[in-house]
Amino acid sequence: MFDSRRPVPPLIPRPLSLTAGEGELVLTRATTVGCHPAVVTADDGQAVVNDHAGAATTTATTTTATAATTTVGAATATDTTGDATATDTTSAATDTTSAATATTGGGDPVEQLGGVLAWLQQALRPATGLPLRESGQATITLGLAGNLGPEAYRLTVTPVGAVVLGGTAAGVFYGCQALLQLLPPAVHRRSPVAGQHWAIPAVEISDEPRFAWRGAMLDVARHFMPKHDVLRFIDLMALHRLNTLHWHLTDDQGWRLEIRRYPRLTEVGAWRRESQVGATRDAPGDGRPHGGFYTQDDVREIVAYAAQRFVTIVPEIESPGHVQAALAAYPQLGVGKEPLDVYTRWGINRNVLNAEESTVIFFQNVLDEVLALFPSRWIGVGGDECPRDQWRDDPRTRERMIELGLTGEEQIQAWFIHRLDEHLTAAGRRLFGWDEILEGDLAPGTTIASWRGMTGAVAAARRGYDVVACPDDRVYLDYRQSESPDEPIPVSIPLTVADVYAFDPVPDGLTPDEARHILGGQANIWTEHADSPRTVDYLAFPRLCAVAEALWSPAGGDYEEFFRRLRHHLARLDALGVEYRHAGGPLPWQRRPGVPGRPDTRQQRAAHIARLVENIAPQEVS
């Protein structure tokens, strides 16, 4: 039983502290799992586990959860079962978890703990083949601890059992992911693995994330991803302790969300006649229709599935640009009102929404259905890359500008976003938009996705808006992965795993107060050139692993050390069947020979972005 090897540390993300104990916990048929909803704990960082027998899995056992710092004596006095109700424990826990509930939609932590237990059974059973029955006196025990941060966990493994404590169920979930990482990578296979020794080294791990918004943006508008592949992507996010899926659902090239009030959005807008192959302006079309959409039942399923894994889905309905799929369905939304096809080209599109009141109401109605489907505090409305040519050239729009008291076309976009913002704010939600919206006045709660480098992050934080950092030159995972000409349809600048790993969401030059507006960051996965989930795998992994660690761990991680851990982590991706990019470059069948990309140098890209952000740049940054 004793194993003196230093345990392989839990890998992606890195734990804050890991202490190797002696021995290992061997999982056998007798391994049981259980919950102690309010096992509470700890004075000096040493978890003290209440293991009194027979604690029911659904009753709270202690009132000490209310104290942020408890003593060993208090923690061991938990035989006074029944003094607190489950509700008491819940409210105590939620007091300390505003950040986590913001991104997980809240809910009863004790019930969520039961959900984590069911998830853990389902995660451990397929490969191990063990029954892992529920038991009051369990080998693997999950519990809440009031003195931990909302997403923090403490994992203690000894030869007789493992205890996973979290500040909320989310923390427990991340502790369970750490537990899985301590098991052989084959634990991620979906049927029994013969001859595998299932042992967890004795360790103690305390860990918590640096940022509350640890995200990925997935573009399903340019290429639709079937529901089961989205669920798989969510599982892969959760494996990496990412907690926010920014879901880009609509764009010029497709509208993917069923809206019951406006069925043509998907009848017409959910497919296009063909797709551009390659990134150049003269790249040919493939002549092949492409499409698909999610029913509202599908969306509810995906949202709930994500919530069980503590992933919040932040939907995005693009406006007032990137709307040609909607215009194809409802031409009256457009400036010209002429019939349009769903767009079959990539790149910025001149067709935008008109400034009619009816168009505002249309989008508010769309958002009402979105609000009913997505409990997320944030709702994305886009706001990026909206050309103003049509507005400038249209007599009716100029009439509307006079009616609305607007003096320049650029104010139309701000006015439109403002109208959506009012609507979202009235519903208790917060508008989430790309950094272009900084060109207008914004409601105080607005959150900015800073994508054109970090200029938007600085500008927004200084103006008091919250920020999600996703600078294209660090975390745009559609960008080519190396200088090699073998990269499939290479666009923009090379972003290696090391480049991505160096991502820090907090820009230089902010005061501590300003820096508090940086909620975190996310990697963006645009799919113009990723026409199947297989290609998304190639673009996302392993770079998304590096993003996950950059968002979880303290700044300034050592890439060499990360890279050593990553090698081990790739065995997990192999077990999961993730078709990641190998360090040597694309496999032969991951290449796209002859399909033109549009590579830039870093200098070209920087100059281009600098021009774009001129009018939002704070003085000292521009």
- Report the interface residues with its own copies, using CB under 8 A: 114, 118, 122, 125-126, 131, 133-134, 186, 189-194, 226-228, 231-232, 270-271, 287-292, 295, 297-298, 300-305, 307-308, 532-534, 574-575, 577, 579, 587-595
The CB-of-192 to its own copies minimum distance in angstroms stands at: 5
User: Per the structure block, which two tokens stand in for 392?
Assistant: 């400038």
Q: Which is nearer to its own copies, 206 or 308 (CB)?
A: 308
Cβ nearer to its own copies, comparing 527 with 590: 590
**Residue 237 host element (H or E):** helix 227-239
Token pair recorded at residue 566: 């990553």
Report the DSSP beta bridge partners of residue 347. none
Residue 154, token pair as written in the block: 């403490």
Nearer to its own copies, 554 or 593 (CB): 593
- Any idea which residue has 């070209």 for tokens? 604
Distance, CA of 276 to CA of 290 (rounded, Å): 11
Q: How many CB atoms lie within 10 A of CB 120?
A: 23
Nearer to its own copies, 294 or 562 (CB): 294
Residue 616: closest CA among 505, 492, 458, 470: 458
- Which sign, positive or negative, has the C-alpha torsion 345, 349, 350, 356? positive
**Which residue number, 285 or 347, has a Cβ lying nearer to its own copies?**
285
Of 120 and 495, which CB lies nearer to its own copies in the complex structure? 120
Distance in Å, CB of 305 to its own copies, minimum? 4
Long-range CB pairs of 445-453, under 8 A, 24+ apart, other chains included: 446/421, 447/378, 447/519, 449/217, 449/246, 449/380, 449/522, 451/384, 451/476, 451/524, 452/609, 452/612, 452/613, 453/606, 453/609, 453/613
Beta-bridge mates of residue 154: 165, 206
Known catalytic residue: 385?
yes
Rounded Cα distance between 470 and 216, Å, is: 9
For 206, other C-beta atoms within 10 Å of its C-beta total 21
Q: What is the dihedral of CA 318, 321, 323, 324, to 10 degrees?
A: -160
Q: How far is the CB of 415 from its own copies (least distance, A)?
A: 36
Q: Distance (Å, rounded) from C-alpha 318 to C-alpha 548? A: 26
Greatest C-alpha distance within the chain: 81
Q: How many CA atoms lie within 13 A of 303 on its CB side?
A: 20
Q: DSSP for 11-61, please give it.
A: -SSPPSEEEEEEEEEEP-TT-EEEEETT----SSS-------TT--TTS--
Contact 41, 47 (CB under 8 A): yes
Which lies closer to its own copies via its Cβ, residue 88 or residue 301?
Answer: 301
Q: At what angle do helices 559-576 and 543-552 cross, to 10 degrees?
A: 120
Please answer whether residues 343 and 291 qualify as being in contact, where contact means their C-beta atoms are separated by less than 8 angstroms.
no
Q: To which H or E segment does residue 572 belong?
A: helix 559-576
In the bound complex, what is the minimum distance in angstroms from residue 577's beta carbon to its own copies?
4
**Nearest-CA neighbor of 29 among 131, 163, 161?**
131
Nearer to its own copies, 482 or 532 (CB): 532
Measured over the CA atoms of residue 590, residue 596, residue 598 and residue 601, the dihedral's sign is positive
We find the least distance from the C-beta atom of residue 286 to its own copies, in angstroms, to be 9
How many other C-beta atoms are found inside a 10 Å radius of the C-beta of residue 258?
Answer: 20
Beta strands in 498-566 (DSSP E): 518-525
Residue number, 32 or 64, with CB nearest to its own copies: 32
To its own copies, the closest distance from the beta carbon of 276 in angstroms equals: 15
Closest CB to its own copies among 133 and 564? 133
Catalytic-labelled residue, pool 385, 409, 436, 514: 385
For 205, other C-beta atoms within 10 Å of its C-beta total 23
Cα separation values, 512 from 182, 454, 463, 470, 531, Å: 36, 17, 14, 20, 42
Tell me the torsion sign for CA atoms 610, 611, 613, 619. Answer: positive
Q: Report the nearest approach of its own copies to the CB of residue 332 (Å).
A: 22
- Write out the catalytic residue numbers: 385
